[in-house]
A and B are shown apart, each in its own frame.
Chain A
Amino acid sequence: MAGLAGARLAAFLILLALIVAAPFVVYPVFVMQAMSFALVALGFNLLLGYVGLLSLGHAAFFGLGAYVGAFCAKSLGSGPELAILAGTASGAAVGLVVGFLAIRRQGIYFAMITLALAEMVRFFCLEAPFTHGEDGIQPIPRGRALGALALHHDFAMYWFVAVAFVLGFLLLYRIIHSPFGQVLKAIRESETRAISLGYRVESYKLLAFVLSAGFAGAGGALEALVTRIATLSGVDAAMSAQIVLMVLLGGMGTVFGPVVGALIVVAMQTYLATLGSWVSVIQGGIFIVCVLAFRRGVVGEIAARLRLAL
């Protein structure tokens, strides 16, 4: 991959090695969930870390992607690739509508518009018959990758998810380091300056929003295939907050931060599940510590200490 060099190349290779080794050491379903959420967090980071837009509505794209992917796989009998593509497309399509309205405002107003529209999506999902309300869509058949490889077994599914994650990661890396990505960073640093340089800032913001929503939709569909269930928790406001938490905890504006953040948050949910709703309290506590003590996030702090770009 062009442009992936130095510390980042080394980090990427370590990441690859960890992905290959992980299913032999830890519970594969946990790693698969972490990778699905990492895709969502990566997309969210594009918006928050590189354009500086804080969306509180990403659960809408995530949850809708999960529902649409689940519906394709279960009711239409499509393969897992098509299900993920459909999830991505639905996330991006709703992202286009939400983004179109939201990018007209900045800061807290932007965040509130995304939150309000996401609540509308949640209500739609509660009432629409195809989501089966509280029951959710279940059990979702994982189907066969490329029409041949049966994904029923967790181990096979693991490699499918790993490939999807690595492809998504590289795509995002490419986006961030393209001229388009440079413009996004310019907008983050000074919007008025970008406008004065002749960039149509709104189009860039909208495209970034749609891309970010698409990643959330893809992650949602992938997560639904992994857990074989798509439910209302996916479109809940708490999910939006979790996505924000992942990116902040890992380090916004870093390439690897969202991946680490997703891993930490999913690990907390998996291994602290016996504590029940205390998980939310612990998450809140960690969030406070993170904001007070290491504001750059885990990866951001490491990168700053070692003077590396990660």
Chain B
Amino acid sequence: MGISRRTLITAAAAAATPLPRLAARAAAPTLKIGVLSDMSGPYRDIGGPTAVACVQQAIADFGDKGWTVDVVSGDHQNKPDVGTAIVARWYDREGVDLVIDCPNSAVGLAVANVAKEKNKAYINSNSASSLLTGKDCNANTIHWTYDTYMLGKSTGGAMVKAGGKTWFFITADYTFGHLLRDQTAMFVKAEGGKVLGNVNYPFPQTTDFSSYLVQAQASGAQVLGLANAGKDTVNSVKQAHEFGVNKKMRIAGLLVFLNDVHGMGLEIAQGLILTESFYWDMNDRTRAFTKRVLPRTPNNYPSMGQAGDYSGTLHFLKAVHDMGVPAAKKSGADIIARMKKIPTDDDAYGKAYIREDGRFMCPAYLFRVKTPAESKKPWDYYTLLGTTPAAEAFMSPKVEGCPLMKA
């Protein structure tokens, strides 16, 4: 079925394309990049079509080097089984060489296993779990952008230093939420703070956070830590606002993206403390990148995960160019190894590098969300509070237990 359909499309394309160009294309080797994301659910804005746009921008910026790059995309619906099925088919049948993006830690970890099994390349730029470069790391995977350790260290550590000594957590009751809470709590305690309480709420069916917010308020803690993401964060912040919790406690969104802030609106989001590794209005290079990509995604500015898709794709293409397309198509692990050897440099993330365990090493930026009065232009949302250098932002490879580091 797959074959016949593809043959059909090729035939249609052949009929529609002038002959000389067809001949040129046939001679050129083709790479294929699969963007696996949430195209319809809670993480659509932080991945989704904007992720595809960023990958296409990277291909355009890389330019024509005598081979073509195709992009396909798929919707994992936040289900690991759906995600692995799509990726296995891409790798097996459709000649996909790289899978990228992939929000949702459960799917992110599952896809890493498939990439390893099929020996293909995989860049995860949108899941949080630090296990991707920890005990579940492998030679076919790079974890771009951010992880739970970095978020906990940057947001958690900074809040305690700024006087928020006592914490109460509201946690999404699944692996990602637990990991984010535990790693943040670790930094809170390390800085001399105290965790007064925690409440887990059922994921993903919870939309009413009122009883958890009341518990948080009753605990008397100074800081409310939200160990969740996406629409859950948006809902809990909005409701905290309605209950006046934000007047008595400071709210730390442990994983908040620019797009979430946009969804809440500044009236509600103002004053929120959060961490990202990319902000479009950071410097001339990030602004230049954003200006280039916006025509492809006019209503949704890229946040760190999508910028990571851009940065990751560009670096992948450089590594492939460096080793030659035929060699690159043979082994995903070889491409990843080559990517680790070359330092990265692009408009979104500047100069950075990839550690042996597959960790992309970028600084973590602590931001405060602006008040409506401070915001002067569209998507002007963040004020920079501080920076954690790359070497400190991520877990030491000795601690995280990645098998690649022992070898």
Most buried by B among A27, A228, A276, A277: A276
Q: Which among A85-93, A245-253, A267-275 touches the partner chain?
A: A267-275
Q: Which residues from A are CB-within-8-Å of B203?
A: 134
Contact A135 B80 (CB under 8 A): yes
Q: Which residues from B are CB-within-8-Å of A270?
A: 85, 89
Q: Confirm or deny: B395 has a beta carbon within 8 angstroms of a beta carbon on chain A.
A: no
Distance in Å from the Cβ of A163 to the closest Cβ of chain B? Answer: 22
Given contacts A135-B106, A136-B110, contact A274 B75 (CB under 8 A): yes
Q: Confirm or deny: A138 has a beta carbon within 8 angstroms of a beta carbon on chain B.
A: yes
Given contacts A133-B175, A136-B106, contact A271 B1 (CB under 8 A): yes
Contact B105 A135 (CB under 8 A): yes
Q: Mark A218-230, 1 if CB is under 8 A from B, else 0.
A: 0000000001110
Given contacts A133-B175, A233-B82, A270-B89, contact A138 B77 (CB under 8 A): no
Contact B92 A29 (CB under 8 A): yes
Q: Confirm or deny: A295 has a beta carbon within 8 angstroms of a beta carbon on chain B.
A: no
Contact B77 A277 (CB under 8 A): yes
Which of A133, A273, A276 contacts B40, CB < 8 Å? A276
Q: Confirm or deny: B62 has a beta carbon within 8 angstroms of a beta carbon on chain A.
A: no
Q: Which residues from B are CB-within-8-Å of A25?
A: 3
Q: Confirm or deny: A132 has a beta carbon within 8 angstroms of a beta carbon on chain B.
A: yes
Contact B2 A27 (CB under 8 A): yes
A residues 130-162 touching B (CB-CB < 8 Å): 132-136, 138-139, 154
Q: Which residues from A are CB-within-8-Å of B74?
A: 273-274, 276
Contact B175 A227 (CB under 8 A): no
Contact B81 A233 (CB under 8 A): yes
Total number of B residues with any Cβ neighbor in A under 8 Å: 34
Distance in Å from the Cβ of A40 to the closest Cβ of chain B? Answer: 15
Q: Confirm or deny: B86 has a beta carbon within 8 angstroms of a beta carbon on chain A.
A: yes
Q: Which residues from B are CB-within-8-Å of A27?
A: 2, 89, 92-93
Q: Confirm or deny: B39 has a beta carbon within 8 angstroms of a beta carbon on chain A.
A: yes
A275 to B75, CA, bound (A): 7
Distance in Å from the Cβ of A245 to the closest Cβ of chain B? Answer: 17
Q: Confirm or deny: A76 has a beta carbon within 8 angstroms of a beta carbon on chain B.
A: no
Q: Confirm or deny: B64 has a beta carbon within 8 angstroms of a beta carbon on chain A.
A: no
Distance in Å from the Cβ of A233 to the closest Cβ of chain B? Answer: 5
Q: Which residues from A are CB-within-8-Å of B3?
A: 25
Which of B5, B75, B113, B176 contacts A134, CB < 8 Å? B176
Contact A229 B82 (CB under 8 A): no
A269 to B79, CA, bound (A): 13
Given contacts A274-B75, A276-B39, contact A229 B109 (CB under 8 A): no
Q: Confirm or deny: B155 has a beta carbon within 8 angstroms of a beta carbon on chain A.
A: no
B residues 83-133 touching A (CB-CB < 8 Å): 84-86, 88-89, 92-93, 105-106, 109-110, 113-114, 117
A231 to B88, CA, bound (A): 16
Contact A134 B117 (CB under 8 A): no
Q: Which residues from B are CB-within-8-Å of A228?
A: 84, 113, 117
Closest B residue, CB atoms, query A224: B81
Closest B residue, CB atoms, query A27: B93
Q: Which residues from A are CB-within-8-Å of B175?
A: 132-135
Q: Which residues from B are CB-within-8-Å of A277?
A: 40-41, 75, 77
Closest B residue, CB atoms, query A234: B81
Given contacts A227-B84, A276-B75, contact A133 B89 (CB under 8 A): no
Q: Confirm or deny: A21 has a beta carbon within 8 angstroms of a beta carbon on chain B.
A: no
Most buried by A among B1, B40, B176: B1
A233 to B84, CA, bound (A): 13
A274 to B87, CA, bound (A): 11
Q: Confirm or deny: B243 has a beta carbon within 8 angstroms of a beta carbon on chain A.
A: no
A309 to B367, CA, bound (A): 70
A227 to B88, CA, bound (A): 9
A101 to B19, CA, bound (A): 70
Most buried by B among A132, A134, A233, A271: A134
Closest A residue, CB atoms, query B109: A135
Q: Which residues from A are CB-within-8-Å of B88?
A: 29, 227
Distance in Å from the Cβ of B29 to the closest Cβ of chain A? Answer: 24
Q: Confirm or deny: B73 has a beta carbon within 8 angstroms of a beta carbon on chain A.
A: yes
Q: Which residues from B are CB-within-8-Å of A275?
A: 75
Contact B113 A231 (CB under 8 A): no
A residues 257-310 touching B (CB-CB < 8 Å): 267, 269-271, 273-277
Distance in Å from the Cβ of A238 to the closest Cβ of chain B? Answer: 10
A154 to B118, CA, bound (A): 11
Which of B80, B93, B117 contacts A231, CB < 8 Å? B80
Contact B106 A273 (CB under 8 A): no
Given contacts A26-B2, A29-B88, contact A138 B75 (CB under 8 A): no
Q: Which residues from A are CB-within-8-Å of B75?
A: 273-277
A201 to B172, CA, bound (A): 47
Contact B106 A29 (CB under 8 A): no
Q: Which residues from B are CB-within-8-Å of A233?
A: 79-82
Which of B89, B105, B106, B117 contacts A139, CB < 8 Å? B117
Q: List 27 A-B contacts (CB under 8 A).
A: A25-B3, A26-B2, A27-B92, A27-B93, A29-B85, A30-B89, A33-B85, A134-B80, A134-B105, A134-B176, A135-B106, A135-B109, A136-B106, A138-B80, A139-B117, A227-B84, A227-B85, A229-B113, A233-B80, A233-B82, A270-B89, A271-B5, A273-B82, A273-B89, A274-B72, A276-B74, A277-B41
A-B contact sample (7 more), CB < 8 A, given A134-B176, A154-B92: A29-B85, A133-B174, A135-B106, A231-B106, A271-B1, A271-B2, A277-B75
Which 5 A/B pairs are nearest by Cβ-Cβ distance?
A276-B75, A134-B174, A139-B113, A134-B106, A277-B40
